[in-house]
Amino acid sequence: MAGNKETDEQIREVFNEKFKEYQAFDRTLDALASLRAICKVVKEIAAETVTCDFRARLKPVAGAEPYTPDAVIRQLREHSFVIELKTSWDHSNVEQIVKYAKSPGTLQSDGTLLSFPKNHCILVGYQNTPDDKHLDQLFNRLKEENIAIPIVVFRYALEVGTPGNRMFFSRVPHARNGFCLSSSSLGKAFNSARGILISDDVFKFERAAFHRASDSAPPTYAGILWWIVYVRYYLNDDQKAEMAEKGRLSSPLMISVDSLDNVPIPDGVEVTLTPKDVRNGLEFLRQAGLAVLKKQRRIYEIDLKTRILPPKVTSLPTDIIEQDITAKLIARWATRKVKSPISDRLGKKKVLRGRRSRRDYKSGYLFPID
């Protein structure tokens, strides 16, 4: 059996992995907000932009399900851009990009096709730039498929500095990387070797509209966002009053599994969590010990409180965890993942016995105090 030091080290590794995943997804949403800000505030680009759709659906070349890139931007002079953002290279990237490149256009709300114009381009962004071997693999495949439209791979990153945080986009200097047509100001910006910078003072006004990227949010991100933002939309007036007065509910919040398809839409949010995101998020909270799934009754019981007690693990960065609700929740999840993981949602029912966890009255507030 592992000693305390070894167990603490395992918890630290699990925590760091999930915390980095959370931060990486957060940067992806920063990038989406930045792209929308660019299309609004950069004078030349804004004058050319017709639509900037972050819930676009592409007509598939095979199968029935539409493709869902992170954004489709349409501009004047028959320009359009499909944008896909990724953290790092994955073996499925080539097939996905080929499908996007072969799609004839977007599907409108009534299911009709809106074809891509002649000046079409696909922008694929990475936080961690793929190496030459993987990029060669991509461009070799594009050549095999006779795909003529430009595919431009770029890097995006959040630069933190004393002048303020900035989102940075830069085209990858690979010999076979594509170029957008320079008759578009947006395309010209992505072609530039200098890259594109946009301050968070600008894109932060767009940031609140994004809760996920195109396909889904990681369970960690979905669970924390649900706990911080969405949960209040499940409370009745009496429960809201009790939370405001006591900072906790006297009895667990009961949420039917069958009701999870009806996801609340928070004010000002354009790209919300999906039912799948909410289910994955509640599973994260269950693994963190803040929710219980009553399988026979098909009900989640949420131990809702505004104060979260961080676990006592010596190898965790306590200065961050004690101040950040995100870090606290991930630390709780990581500790239980290593010390006492619970069964999967669809696994055998597991009965847990033991002393009830003590309420935490010492750590920071979850809900802001007006």
Other C-beta atoms closer than 10 Å to the C-beta of 318 total 14
Q: What is the pLDDT of residue 354?
A: 42
Residue ranges, comma separated, of all CATH 3.40.1350 domains in the chain are 27-207
User: At a CB cut-off of 8 Å and minimum separation 6, what does 234 contact?
Assistant: 253, 255, 264
What is the DSSP track for 284-327? Answer: HHHHTTSEEEETTTTEEEE--BS--PPP--TTS-HHHHTT-HHH
Lookup: tokens for 224: 């924390």
Other C-beta atoms closer than 10 Å to the C-beta of 130 total 21
Q: What is the pLDDT of residue 3?
A: 52
**Which CATH code is given to the segment(s) 27-207?**
3.40.1350
pLDDT beneath 50: ranges in the chain:
1-2, 346-370
pLDDT tens for each residue of 329-362 = 999 999 999 988 886 654 444 444 444 334 333 3
Distance in angstroms (rounded) separating the CA atoms of residues 81 and 73: 5
What is the DSSP track for 53-64? Answer: ESS--BPPSSSS
Contact 223, 118 (CB under 8 A): no
Q: Looking up tokens 């847990």, which residue turns up?
A: 352
SS3 call for 221: helix
Q: What is the pLDDT of residue 345?
A: 57
Helical packing angle, 200-207 and 4-41, nearest 10°? 100
Helical packing angle, 4-41 and 219-228, nearest 10°? 80
